[in-house]
Amino acid sequence: MGLADMDLPGPPAIARALRQRADHRAYGYTVCDPAGRSLVADWYRARHGVEVDPDWVLLLPCGPRTALRILLETVRERAAHPDSTRPGAARSPAPVLFPTPEWGGFAQLCRAARLEYRELPLPVGPDGYRLPVGPLPGPTSAVLLSSPHNPSARVWPADGLRALAERAAEAGALLVSDEVHGDLTHPGHLHPVAVTTVGPALRHLVVTLNSVGKTFNCSGIPSSFALVPDPALRARFTDALAGYGLWEGGLLEQTVQQAALREGGPWLDALLAHLAAARTRLADRLGPAVRSAPQASYLLWLDAAALGLPPQDARRALLERCGLEASDGTEFGPGGRGSLRLNYALPGSVLATVLERLERREQPGRLERPDRPGRPDLP
């Protein structure tokens, strides 16, 4: 339960498409199918009710993590500024800003791109975390955000996202919204797509990253797409990708993307109903230990102390007492201390086992022979 991946089979449409493509035994270089951009735009119109210009779309043969890493290369070049402490010193980029708790990959990728970063604590209200308000600490080259929020699965409200984009623009920063869980919004909630939620005057300073990987449980064939309204930024991003030997398209990547977006809608609807039911069962059992009511995805953000677990060693305690693995809150920055993240994208039979094991969490004894759940079944 510590890995952000679904323990469920993916859509039959993707399996069919892969079999058909494998039977065509030309596996050489491929170019990008321009129709894929319109397919992405159609998906956003049908699923989110927003208009995405196909010209904004970059279809990438790499996962969103790699796409963000390369995008940070363009941020570093774009945001270089003089070091005011030493006359004539070399130019260096302003730091990147992101909230805490937040997906730990942001910090790792900033370090890999040789970019300093600052973590901004997220305020907490009665309904969970809120986006920061007020001016951002400057100078700032980019603001990174998972939307919906990873780890708490909160759907950021559109007005808060617009306000953050305005604050980022005032700081001269690019807002990068990682929306890989955006298609997994639970019934009754709407996901605000960053590049269409902000006003037209700010779109050149906003990028949305997305992928069919999380939505359709096919991250093992990495692909992603970026929505980049600014033509100059698109060109720089494309050049940076080429420097790593990556071009739009991809043989299996396009096969998976197109099958998912063309035929995956009904499967996704069934999945979302399954996830919402699993969320309710687990959240009702854990009650006040749930730090923020999840509104999307398949992640539950928990207060270790409220679970009866030692906050400083909660992950190990949960594993030993219950035979359940979770993500340690410290992986999500300073704001995650004393927390655990659980993934509940499980078959119903396995979730029942999880609920039974959670009853052991307040017992200090070691679990000697954990059960071994069977094969995943359909949602």
Structural domain boundaries, residue 110: 28-263
The answer to whether residue 374 sits within a structural domain is no
Determine, yes or no, domain membership for 367. no
Backbone φ and ψ of 207, nearest 5° = -130, 135
Q: pLDDT (tens digit, 9 = 90+) per residue, 207-221?
A: 999 999 999 999 999
Q: Are residues 259 and 311 in the same domain?
A: no
Averaged over 286-302, what is the pLDDT? 95
Same domain, 253 and 270: no
CATH of the domain at 102: 3.40.640.10
Instruction: Pick the last residue of a domain from 214, 233, 263.
Output: 263
Q: What is the pLDDT of residue 92?
A: 73
User: Does one domain contain both 85 and 199?
Assistant: yes
Residue 327 lies in a domain: yes
pLDDT at 91: 62
pLDDT score recorded for residue 375: 41
| Predicted confidence band of residue 332 (pLDDT cuts 50, 70, 90) | very high
Residue 80 pLDDT > 50: yes
**Is residue 365 in a domain?**
no
Tokens of 68: 């963000």
Report if residue 339 sits inside a domain: yes
Q: Are residues 202 and 270 in the same domain?
A: no
**Count of other CB atoms within 10 angstroms of residue 224:** 25
Q: Which residue has the tokens 């469920």?
A: 8
User: With contact defined as beta carbons under 8 Å apart, do 366 and 323 qualify?
Assistant: no
**Same domain for 143 and 85:** yes
Predicted local distance difference test score (pLDDT) of residue 77: 79
Q: State the alpha helices, DSSP H only, in the chain.
A: 12-23, 35-48, 64-78, 105-112, 158-170, 194-197, 212-215, 231-243, 251-263, 265-286, 314-322, 348-358
User: At which of 263, 283, 310 does a domain end?
Assistant: 263
Q: Residue 275: which CATH number?
A: 3.90.1150.10
pLDDT: is 150 or 81 the higher one? Answer: 150
2 assigned to some structural domain = no
The per-residue pLDDT for 364 is: 56
State which of 233, 263, 293 marks the end of a domain. 263
In a domain, residue 187? The reply is: yes
**177 and 242 inside one domain:** yes
Whether residue 217 sits in one domain with residue 73: yes
Q: Are residues 78 and 171 in the same domain?
A: yes
Encode pLDDT of 256-279 as tens digits: 999 999 999 999 999 999 999 999
Same domain, 45 and 145: yes
Are 121 and 211 in the same domain? yes
The reply to whether 111 and 124 lie within a common domain is yes
State how many domains the chain has.
Answer: 2
* 83/124 same-domain check: yes
Question: 145 pLDDT band (50/70/90 cuts)?
Answer: very high
- Predicted confidence at residue 370, as pLDDT, reads 43
